[in-house]
Amino acid sequence: MRNNNVMALIFSNMHDESVRDLTAVRSMGSIPIGGRYRLIDFTLSSLVNAGVIKVGVVTKSHYQSLMDHIGSGKAWDLSRKHEGLCFLPPFNAQDDLYSGRVAALAGIGAFLERAREEYVILADSHLVGNIDYDRLIDAHLDSGADITIGYKRGPLPAQRNNLILTMDVDGRVGDIQIGDANGEQNSYYGLGIYILRRDLLHRLVADAVSHNQMNFERDILQKYREDMRIQGAEVTEYVQTIHSLSSYFAANMAFLDSDVRAALFPKGRPVYTKVRDCAPATYGLHSQVSNSLVADGAHIDGTVRNSIIFRDVHIERDAVVENSIVMQDAVIHRGAHLDAVILDKNVTIHDGRCLRGADSYPVFIAKGAVV
């Protein structure tokens, strides 16, 4: 289906504060995951697969790597003379202008006014999942809702400020709470996905800004839940939210599960990413690799178990990497041993070093570090 009457806005910096280790030098959307992808690839690909051909990427800070990754949008077929991909950086350096979603939307008011599409999808980039936006758009149109919230059903993520929904049998949202994980195993919680008319969004944002109300969930959704028809649309696909370093670690490790890979990469809904012309991964005579994802360009001469190895990583002889995530261009020298470790890009681990963490508390080594 081609949703030519629908545009989308992806917020690349929402939730940055939840993974400060990873977002110190990049936005949430450009966090590497799964050996060759960035987080924004999943949201962007899901939208493109639903026929959305106009996408604005709303940025705030540390967006250079995101721009380098997405470029003109060619990999997603969004490099177009009309519509296509548009980066929306902040027009003002004042931090308080971009303290929330409402402030970010106010900053791109002119872009929204010029758009011709009737509907707009708001989406965050902290999700790992292949979401069927076609179904969500249809649910919004069929229900006649003013606002549709994409939600997941299950245990609340262990994060602050979950959007917790109470709904009637018809899916209409009766109550909206904002709270932390409470141990409830069958909650309805928002995923940061909203669908509404573009003109309605523009009016709601203008009204909120005029009253200095900058929180979309509290100052718009909660405020108007009785005056507007706010509907819930369940996201039934596999989805992981990145809300902490341990959740990022778990989301990567899940790629080693064949059922998860089948859910993330279903037939007919591919996940696109930046194309790099690298040579295939190479394996030395002394290499031993099991239950791992190894990206192109990597050279393995040591032992790798239960790990995610990104492009152009070098692991020397007698080095052991297990239960770990090793990002692009890292070098692990002879005799090093890593267990439950996350190495950011361009990290060097010297001979004989031993780093050991745990699934719930992995060791993190920052970009460019030498250990």
pLDDT of residue 17: 86
109-113 own/partner pairs: CB under 8 Å, 24+ apart? 109/202, 109/205, 109/206, 111/56, 111/86, 112/198, 112/201, 112/202, 113/202
Q: How far apart are CA 313 and CA 274, in angstroms?
A: 18
- Token readout for 27 is 């936005």
- Mean pLDDT per 10-residue interval, the chain, length 371 residues: 83 88 93 96 97 93 90 92 87 56 90 93 96 96 96 88 90 90 80 96 93 90 93 96 95 97 96 90 96 96 98 97 97 98 97 95 96 93
Task: Look at residue 97 in the predicted model and tell me its pLDDT.
Answer: 43
Question: What is the value of pTM for the model shown?
Answer: 0.94
Report the number of secondary-structure helices (H) and strands (E) in the chain: 11, 28
190 token code pair: 């928002």
Residue 169 — φ and ψ, nearest 5°? -65, -20
List CB contacts of 151: < 8 A, sequence separation 6 or more.
163, 165, 188, 189, 190, 191, 232, 233, 234, 235
Sheet holding 325-326, edge to edge: 293-294, 308-309, 325-326, 341-343, 363-365
Q: How many CA atoms lie within 13 A of 69 on its CB side?
A: 23
The residue among 305, 312, 318, 369 whose CA lies nearest residue 343 is 369
The CATH label, of 3.40.50.10860, 3.40.440.10, 3.30.565.10, 3.90.550.10, for the domain at 6-264 is 3.90.550.10
Domain boundaries in the chain?
A: 6-264, 282-365
The β-bridge relationship of strands 230-234 and 187-197 is: unpaired
- Residue 292 to residue 255: CA distance in whole angstroms: 9
> Measured between alpha carbons, how far is residue 365 from residues 22, 63, 326, 344 in Å?
10, 21, 10, 6
Residues contacting 251, CB < 8 A, separation 6+? 33, 128, 240, 242
Distance CA 113, CA 246 (A): 40
- Is the CA virtual torsion 326, 42, 23, 311 positive or negative? positive
The architecture CATH gives domain 282-365 = 3 Solenoid (2.160)
Instruction: Quote the Cα angle for 178-180-185, to 5°.
Output: 105
pLDDT at 254: 97
pLDDT number for residue 81: 82
β pairing state of 282-283 and 162-167: unpaired
User: Can you tell me the distance from the alpha carbon of 196 to that of 118, in angstroms, rounded to the nearest whole number?
Assistant: 9
Residue 277: predicted pLDDT = 81
Q: State the pairing for strand pair 303-305/230-234.
A: unpaired
